[in-house]
Amino acid sequence: MLESFAAELLALPYRLRFGRIGRRPRLFPPLLISGARGIQLGDDARVESFVALSVARGGRMEIGSQCELRSFARLEADSGHLVLGEKCSVNSFCLLNGYGGITVGNSVRIASHSVILSSTHQYKDINSSIHSQGVLAMETVIGDDVWIGSHCVIVGGARIGSHSIIGAGSVVLGDIPAYAIAAGVPARVVRMRVE
């Protein structure tokens, strides 16, 4: 009871700023927040110290119930969207950039130092700098019950099917089917979890 009261007290300043915070939040200041009105946290969400949550004008971020965001994770919706389903964990030093949109299903585990993108630089005009050509939004979708190993990179436009495992250090450039175990650079299916 006392612990729940203390957690609610810590959440009070954030309740006044966020778009929505569900019941029984566990927030551990300091949090690095930008565009708080575009952020929604579900019930029993846990957000540890030094997590960065950023939403630009027109963007939105939805963190589902019972999600855990570990210290030093960085989640950016930019002007796109970043949606985490229920019971997801984003571990320390991860970067999720939702400029082109990131949708993550339920019960997804994202190990430390992983990067999930939703855009790519344009580079076709060789007479202009890559930087000046801007970026192309490419939505990234991750299904339910996916385990993403440490130090993975998932590029914009990738789609990972439900119940898949992405091996540590992999770079996902395209689609991974459901129930697959994929690894390597670029990531390839090494075997299936079902016959």
User: In the predicted model, what is the mean pLDDT of residues 66-89?
Assistant: 97
pLDDT tens per residue, range 119-161: 999 999 999 999 999 999 999 999 999 999 999 999 999 999 9
Write out pLDDT tens, residues 90-125.
999 999 999 999 999 999 999 999 999 999 999 999
Amino acid at residue number 182: A
Q: Which domain holds residue 56?
A: 2-192
Predicted TM-score (pTM) above 0.85: yes
Specify the CATH number for the domain of residue 120: 2.160.10.10
Give the mean pLDDT of 64-80: 97
- Torsion angle in degrees (nearest 10) through CA of 4, 16, 30, 119: 120
- State mean pLDDT over 48-59: 94
Selecting among 121, 131, 151, 163, the annotated active-site residue is: 121
Structural domain count, the chain:
1
Least confident among 10-14, 151-155, 171-175: 10-14
Q: For position 111, what pLDDT does the model report?
A: 98
Beta carbons of 114 and 151 less than 8 angstroms apart: yes
- For 9-24, what is the mean pLDDT? 80
Which of 14-18, 43-47, 111-115 is predicted with the least confidence, judged by mean pLDDT?
Answer: 14-18
Residues 84 and 19: their CA atoms lie apart, in Å, by 16
CA angle 149, 151, 160 (to 5 degrees): 50
Sequential DSSP letters for the chain: -HHHHHHHHHHHHHHTTSSEE-SS-EE-S--EEESGGGEEE-TT-EE-TT-EEEE-TT-EEEE-TT-EE-TT-EEEEETSEEEE-TT-EE-TT-EEE-SS-EEE-SS-EE-TT-EE-SEEE----TTS-TGGG-EEE--EEE-SS-EE-TT-EE-TT-EE-TT-EE-TT-EE-SEE-TTEEEETTTTEEEEES--
Give the pLDDT score at 39: 96
Average pLDDT over residues 158-165: 98
What distance in Å separates the CA atoms of residue 27 and residue 14, rounded to the nearest whole number?
A: 9
* pLDDT at residue 7, as a whole number: 63
Beta pairing class for 119-121 and 102-104 = unpaired
Provide the percentage of residues in the chain whose pLDDT is more than 70. Answer: 94
- The average confidence (pLDDT) of the chain is 93
Output the pLDDT for position 6: 61
Residue 121 annotated among the catalytic residues of the structure? yes
More confident residue, 6 or 45: 45
CA distances (Å), origin 88, targets 8, 109, 136, 149, 187: 22, 6, 27, 14, 22
Confidence of residue 13 (pLDDT cuts 50, 70, 90): confident
